[in-house]
Every structure is written in C-alpha cells, then in structure tokens.
A and B are shown apart, each in its own frame.
Chain A
Amino acid sequence: MRILVCAKQVPDTNEVKIDPKTGTMIREGVPSILNPDDANALEAALVIKDENPGTEVIVITMGPPQASEMLRECLAMGADEAYLLSDRAFGGADTWATSATLAAGIKNVKKIDLILAGRQAIDGDTAQVGSQIAQRLKMPVVTYVEDIKIEDKKAIVHRQMEDGYEVIEVQMPCLLTCVKELNEPRYMSIGGIMDAYEQTITTWNHEDIGLSPEACGLNASPTQVFRSFSPPAKGVGEMITGNTVNEIAGTLVSKLKEKHII
C-alpha cells in the first residue's frame, strides 16, 4: 500500500506575540514547524506502515525552498519519500489554487491508495485544502477523522462531530483529514535524522507537474486579500483588590449587582 501525506510548514502561531506599541505581529524568532494536524496525519500513516510491512509513506508539500526542512523532519519520523512543490508561480495561492497545485503534484506521484491530510493548518485555519484535493482527484473524502481502521480495500473511520462521532465506511483510494484526537505523533529517531539527511527530496516546479503559470498561485486564486489588519485591542479593565478573598469576592459580586447583570 502507498499512503500519501499532505503536510504544510507553518509558523508556530502559539509563539506569535503582538507588539504592544504598534499592535502588529512580531514574527522574528517565531519557529517554523510541521503543522500539528499534519503530524497526526503522518503518524496515522506510520502506524499503518508499522502494522503492514511493505507499506510506503510519501509526504508532499507546497511551499518555499525552506519547507524542505519540514520534509526532512517527516523523513526522520519514518516517511519513505518526500516531494516539494516549489515555484515562484505558486506564490500567493488561496485554497482553491493550492489544492489545484497539490492535486497536480499528487497525480505525478502516482499509485496512491490512501491520502491523509491534517484537518487544517494553524496559520490559516481554513480546513479547505484537503477536501478540495479529494474533489480534484475525484476521490471520496471524510474530514475530521479521529479513528482509522483499514480493512481490505476500504477504510472504516470515525468522523468527529460536535456532539459525538459518525462511523463511516469508505472505499479506497480515498482522502481522510485528521484531527489531533487521532493519535500522538512520534518523535524523530536519531537514526531517522541521520538517514533523512541522505535521502533525496524531489522538487517540482509548475512545468514538472504540467500546470501553466496561469493555473497556479495568485493568478488562479478566485479569492484575494482586500486588506489585512491587526484585531482592535480592547481597553484594559479594572483590577479588583482587597485584603481577603472574601472582600475581593464581595466587591466583584456587588459590582455585578450594580450593573444588574446578576
């Protein structure tokens, strides 16, 4: 079986801080990481590989040249092959164009039985690209997957819902988008890290995957950023102090009563 994992290198948004004077993001020193949900997707693929010797795990990403660092991390975790779709023409892509590029790249990889992707990336939180790749490859898709069992040529998965889950049967090849409840991603092994630096990362540009520059990146994006801005900050409120907790609690409750909230 050949399992393909879609991954993205993202800035660790948990580490992003806001400049209190200008209200803008401070990006300096923010590390780039493998998107967390994608790590769950990769782990799911590696678990299937552990249980089914002979399984190959392939990782693909679209991004700038430095995204190869993240691909090496995936190789060090246990992936077998890595592909980087990188081209100036891919820049500025929205989800529609990103999924078109990734789908073209995946077609080039060939013979894939199962595609796993993270539910969403932490820099955009859109949860669109995985589903859209499946549409373009005419594959069935299940999103928000929190449990996977492979039986024969089909997958039995649990799809997370707001109030529980659905048990869904889907024929392979199919695409599943994974949530963090699925598993706990493994760490890179020392041997894996050593090996990862000797492995080849295949880099493809728009010609390699058969797309014209008009069919990718900003040119092919139906949505555009009209403007972006820092969210307005709320004014600092009042600190309630007192000699005892009872005094503090009393002050708070009387303030709430004054406002007729309680």
Chain B
Amino acid sequence: MAIKVIDEKCIGCSKCQKSCPFDAITIENKIAVIGDACTNCGTCIDVCPTDAILQEGTEKIIRDLSMYKGVWVFAEQREGKIMPVVFELLGEGKKLANEIGTELCAILCGSNVAGLTDELIAYGADKVYLADAPELEKYTTDGYSKVINEAIGVYKPEIVLYGATHIGRDLAPCLAVKVNTGLTADCTKLEIDPDDKKIRQTRPAFGGNLMATIVCPGSRPQMSTVRPGVMDKAVYDPTKKGEVIKLNAVFAEGDIRTKVLEIVKTTADIISISDADFIVAGGMGLGKPEGMELLQQLADKLGGTVAASRACVDAGWADHNIQVGQTGTTVKPQIYFACGISGAIQHIAGMQESDLIIAINKNENAPIFEVADYGIVGDLYKVIPAIIDELNK
C-alpha cells in the first residue's frame, strides 16, 4: 500500500501538508510530494479538496491464516493474585470471540498457580493454558516469553491480548519478535471487522492528539496491549465450566538471563486509581506539595483517592503511580475533580471518559474547562475547603 498524488488533480493548496500528522508532505512546484515519513495513515486523503490523493494497494502475499483460532488473554498474576486488568481483558476478549465465533482462552504463568484457573474460567475463559514451574515464580522476560512463545507455536491463537502494565508492556514486544507478528500498544478500543473477522485496534498517538486504528493483515496472532481501566470487566459466573491444559515449562541453564534479586514495595498496595469511583487530582496550580494534603481531605470526604498530573509528578509533589494521563494511568471514575490542572491533551487523554468532570482553575481560559461538566474559576485553596464545608453540612 502506498499514498499517491495525482499531479494533474493537485492544486498545491497545502491542506494535506498541514493535516499530515507525520510531517511527511512537502509542496514542490505547487504539487504535493509524499516523503519518507509517510505511514499510509490516509489523513491527507480525507482533507484533499480535489481528490488528488489516493491509496494504492499492492496486496502482500497472504500467509495461511486460517489455522489460527481462538482469542487468548495473558492472565498476568503477581504473588498469586490475578491483576485486575485480566478480568477486563476477559470481558473484552469474550465479545471479540463471540463476534468471530471462536473460543476464549487464558494463558497463565507462575509457580503453584493452578488454583487460579477456576477464577479465570469463572470470568469467562473456555480454556486455561497453564505453565507452572519454579522458574516462573517471579516474572522474567526470558522465562515468560519462552513458554508463551512455545504455546503460541503449538496452539496458534488468532488474537492475543495483554494488559498494558509494566509486565505486559515488557513481555508483548519480545513475543512479537519471537513469533514474527505485529503488536499494537495501549489500545483503547478493539473491534472485529464484520466482513473479514480481523481485529481493528484503536490507540491514541501523539500524546492523545490523534487516534489511529491499526490492523495486522498478514501475520498471526494479532496482538494488542490494552490499557488498564478502559474495558469493562467480565461477568463472574462460578458455575461456568472450562478446561485446563498444562503446558510443558522446562528450562535449561542460561534460558533465563536476568535474576530478580529483590522486590521492593514503595507503596503498601498497588494504588489503583483506575478502580476509584471518586478522584481528586492536582496539577501545577497547587503551587506547593502541601496542596496534595488538601486534595486528600476532599478525597477522604468522598471516599475516593487522590491523583496527579504529569507536571505535578515531575515537580516531585506526587508519586508516579498516581499519575493520570497518556504516560500514566487511564481513569474513568464517577467524579473527577481536576484541581489546578490546565488540561494538557496528554492529561485529558487519561481522564476524559470520567462520568462527571469538575474543573477548578484560576485561569478561565484553561483547556480543562473544555472537557469539564462543571467549571469553577477560582483559587482552589478557597474553593476546596468551601466544598468540604458544604459536604459536612
């Protein structure tokens, strides 16, 4: 596939040049020229007023894809506990599997984790592939990618979903190279093409300024990492039956080249801002680290939790594990208070799905007001105590 300009139709208006997210178009002698940076995204085709740009298809040799069947979910567990994102993946995976007309499977790695298979089945897995070995007790890139690569080779799934956690985002890229297939990172939407049953993966790019829908036409499995907190959790049904298939997890000396010496917890638990119903988030407008304490008071009042913008985390006022946004966590609480947050697009990308957004900012032109359901222009150090007082009444 390639983007082509029909020189006779091009009027040199430069609309395509301005629209190009990749800066790939130049105007030479009043005609648009597509440069090296072109990714075939097609944005220019839509904006061209004279239909002078088109996408030329040269279909690649299609491999035999029909032998790949089933939707797999990587059932990430830590210390014998399944990560919450796995239940979201099972929920989404079930929808995809139903649309394709195939089965939903989970792949579970660890040591003495056979007891978790029932839970995965109750959350919708028809089959659980289980790799249980002492070497898999702690996550290692080499250990996990070896057994999952072997399982994909034998059982040939058509889709594999991973949570976009620090582990999922480490494991999936390695597997994409091992298995020789494509991988789409941090997806926020997955759909099945009703005609060819292939998956369409939508993800934010350019810090959330652009959404891109990605396909993986010629290789299998089609793989995605999915942001935690975006998909709906699967329904729990303890009566559901499923099958457990034990994988051969055998390691030779030198297979695992990293050694986990120690696991250090800096927070008592994984602070799950993605699960919170009420979030009070602070930004640079706090002006000082103590501002987080005021936000905490409001959060406590609501039974919620505090969060922060990237600027606030960079300033050292809040820990990175409560950062909301493109490079942090995606949240969709019932109420999101944005306090002293100007509303950079990267931040908005991580919270715009909240049911209700309340923005408090001194600057009436702050972009955050464009996504807020309720906006208050004012000093948060006055407004928040007043809200707390009002809630106490």
- Answer yes or no: do A and B interact: yes
Give the dominant DSSP class at A's interface.
Answer: mixed
Contacts of A130 in B (CB 8 A): 173
Interface residues of B in 247-284 (CB under 8 A from A): 257-267, 269-271
Q: Given contacts A164-B265, A222-B182, are A228 and B211 in contact (CB under 8 A)? A: yes
Contacts of A128 in B (CB 8 A): 172-173, 176, 183, 185
A190: Cβ under 8 A from any B Cβ:
no
B-side interface residues, number (CB < 8 Å): 103
Question: Is A163 a contact of B321 with CB atoms below 8 Å?
Answer: yes
Question: Is A160 a contact of B166 with CB atoms below 8 Å?
Answer: yes
Interface residues of B in 53-78 (CB under 8 A from A): none
Alpha-carbon distance between A23 and B181 when the two chains are bound, in angstroms: 34
B373: Cβ under 8 A from any A Cβ:
yes
Contacts of B265 in A (CB 8 A): 163-164
Minimum CB distance partner of A92 in chain B: B39
Q: Given contacts A27-B20, A230-B211, A253-B390, are A136 and B320 in contact (CB under 8 A)? A: no
Question: Is A27 a contact of B170 with CB atoms below 8 Å?
Answer: no
The distance from the CB of A170 to the nearest CB of chain B, in whole angstroms, is: 5
The distance from the CB of A119 to the nearest CB of chain B, in whole angstroms, is: 9
Contact among B178, B181, B263, B382 for A245, CB-based, below 8 A = B382
B352: Cβ under 8 A from any A Cβ:
yes
Interface residues of A in 106-137 (CB under 8 A from B): 120, 122-132, 134-136
Which of A9-17, A39-47, A68-76 is near enough to bind chain B? A9-17
Contacts of A92 in B (CB 8 A): 36-40
Q: Given contacts A171-B257, A218-B40, are A249 and B390 in contact (CB under 8 A)? A: yes
Which of A52-60, A138-146, A195-203 is near enough to bind chain B? A138-146
B207: Cβ under 8 A from any A Cβ:
yes
Question: Is A234 a contact of B271 with CB atoms below 8 Å?
Answer: no
The proximity string for A residues 179-196 relative to B, scoring 1 for CB distances below 8 Å and 0 otherwise, is: 011000000000000000
Contact among A18, A127, A222, A228 for B216, CB-based, below 8 A = A222
Number of A-B contacts (CB under 8 A): 288
Question: Is B390 a contact of A246 with CB atoms below 8 Å?
Answer: yes
Minimum CB distance partner of A236 in chain B: B370
Question: Is A224 a contact of B207 with CB atoms below 8 Å?
Answer: no
Alpha-carbon distance between A13 and B177 when the two chains are bound, in angstroms: 28
Contacts of A246 in B (CB 8 A): 386, 389-390
Contacts of A99 in B (CB 8 A): 177
Contacts of B270 in A (CB 8 A): 162-163
Contact among B2, B142, B184, B372 for A218, CB-based, below 8 A = B2
Alpha-carbon distance between A191 and B391 when the two chains are bound, in angstroms: 60
Question: Is B209 a contact of A245 with CB atoms below 8 Å?
Answer: no
Q: Given contacts A140-B257, A141-B174, A253-B391, are A218 and B185 in contact (CB under 8 A)? A: no
The proximity string for B residues 197-213 relative to A, scoring 1 for CB distances below 8 Å and 0 otherwise, is: 00010001111111111
Inter-chain pairs besides A26-B18, A159-B166, A163-B265, 10 sampled, C-beta below 8 Å: A13-B206, A120-B327, A123-B206, A143-B166, A162-B166, A166-B263, A167-B264, A170-B257, A222-B218, A229-B211
